[in-house]
Amino acid sequence: MSGTHVIVGASLAGAKAAETLREEGFGGPIVLIGDEEERPYERLSLSKDYLLGKAERETIYVHPQAWYAEHDVDLRLGTLVTGLDPTAHEVALADGSRIGYSKLLLATGSAPRRLPVPGADAEGVLYLRRVADSDRIRATLQTATRIAVIGAGWIGLETAAAARSAGVEVTVLETAELPLLRVLGREVAEAFAALHREHGVDLRFGVQVAEITGSGGQADGVRLADGSHIPADAVVVGVGITPNSQLAEEAGLEVGNGIVVDAGLRSGDPDIYAAGDVANAYHPMLGRHVRVEHWANALNQPQAAGRSMLGQDVAYDLVPYFYTDQYDLGMEYAGYVEPGGYDRVVFRGDVAAREFVAFWLRDGRVLAGMNVNIWDVNEAIQAIVRGGRTVDAGRLADPGVALDEFA
């Protein structure tokens, strides 16, 4: 197979797919197209070490600059793909030109949800997705006395942690009763609330943002629905992301919470694939479609997609995995639980000291596990999730019992 393989989206997923195509021996043309000006980079540290100025810019890139020429990957940066014509096997670019493909991978990722309230377009209302966003927030943290963070999800909490580390006062505003409630459930969400409170974050739960206040086009605070006002030198918004699936949708592919693809990352069109944040892929182990908005998925899934594009028989079924670092808390999470989809949480270790493993169970089976400040156990947790056996909760909670027993 030597026809041109086009990848739209030049970030982690796109770059990994290009790498896989070459590693698997594909010798034909590869065109990797991205609308950002930067060569493919990872976003992880944009809310962590890079935001704090502890990681150099060079550390964020997926490959050295020279890699693309060395591997004969035609990297087109600053190039927006505006259309997709599956019948003609072409993508259209913003300048009116078109590129033909024999196989196409959509790795267009996701974009921050915008805050739909008055004042949200003022200067000082900041989102965090791209490296320039991180640069802007870092500069803000150097001069601000206090910021408001809207949304207590991963991005909001990591930004709050970075801001506290930079000595900035932080108020976090969240509509739910606890941070990360939908993803973690009450039991573990409370541990994250305690962590941030101990670090001096003013957490306000169950609140509705009515307006971003400001003067002269510059944000100066947040007005809540109850009329109260939180003054802030800047407002960071982290209220979730939406998949960039417009190209697929306009081309008539099946879209629903991202681009719907099978376990081989193939859409309804046999020549069009999707991977990374934008893909709602059938997961054989879970027996359902899932869209995973995390780094490990953007790292591994495009490798499967690349092989699939080359005609290999592939089923991507790695256990969903992610991690976060906030203050002195590092954690890894493996598995998948729908909001409210568990009936019990089992803790092993010391929750108050933040050295524990939490397991989410349903009908006695472990759906997911999270190790907090305990290392070298995540593979065992993944094996337990994958095994799907009924476990004895008392033994699971006992740190003296090896985790291998439950796999």
Ligand X SMILES: Cc1cc2nc3c(=O)[nH]c(=O)nc-3n(C[C@H](O)[C@H](O)[C@H](O)COP(=O)(O)OP(=O)(O)OC[C@H]3O[C@@H](n4cnc5c(N)ncnc54)[C@H](O)[C@@H]3O)c2cc1C
Give bridge partners of residue 138 from the DSSP assignment: none
Output the smallest distance, CB 11 to ligand X, in A: 3
**Of 35 and 174, which CB lies nearer to ligand X in the complex structure?**
35
Each residue of 249-277: b (16+ CB within 10 Å) or e?
Answer: eebebebeebbbbbbbbbbebeebbbbbb
Q: Which amino acid is at 299?
A: L
Instruction: Write down the residue that tokens 């203050």 correspond to.
Output: 327
Residue from the set 69, 80, 88, 132 that interacts with ligand X by CB under 6 A: 80
**Of 12 and 195, which CB lies nearer to ligand X in the complex structure?**
12
Residue 378 near ligand X by CB under 6 A: no
Residue from the set 155, 170, 184, 305 that interacts with ligand X by CB under 6 A: 155
Residue 324 near ligand X by CB under 6 A: yes
Q: Which amino acid is at 155?
A: I
Residue from the set 6, 7, 8, 345 that interacts with ligand X by CB under 6 A: 8
Residue 128 near ligand X by CB under 6 A: yes
Q: Hey, which residues between 291 and 310 contact ligand X (CB under 6 A)?
A: 293-296, 298
**Chain CA centroid to CA 284, Å:** 21
**Of 137 and 357, which CB lies nearer to ligand X in the complex structure?**
137
Give how many residues touch ligand X by CB under 6 A: 36
Residue from the set 7, 12, 168, 191 that interacts with ligand X by CB under 6 A: 12
**Of 90 and 211, which CB lies nearer to ligand X in the complex structure?**
90
Q: Hey, which residues between 215 and 244 contact ligand X (CB under 6 A)?
A: 244
Instruction: From 35-43, 58-66, 212-220, 348-356, give the range in contact with ligand X by CB under 6 A.
Output: 35-43
- Which residue from 146, 277, 120, 326 is spatially nearest to 211, judged by alpha carbons? 120
Residue from the set 39, 43, 63, 103 that interacts with ligand X by CB under 6 A: 43
CA–CA gap between residue 60 and residue 44 (Å, rounded): 8
Residue with the closest Cβ to ligand X?
109
Residue 157 near ligand X by CB under 6 A: no
Q: Is 99 within 8 Å of 81 (Cβ atoms)?
A: no
CA 255-258-263 angle, to 5 degrees, is: 90
Instruction: Write down the residue that tokens 């590869």 correspond to.
Output: 30
Percent of the chain as helix, strand, coil, to the nearest 5: 25, 30, 40
CA–CA gap between residue 364 and residue 387 (Å, rounded): 12
Instruction: Please report, as ranges, the residues that interact with ligand X according to CB under 6 A.
Output: 8-14, 33-36, 43-44, 46-47, 80-81, 107-110, 128-129, 155, 244, 247, 276-277, 293-296, 298, 322-324
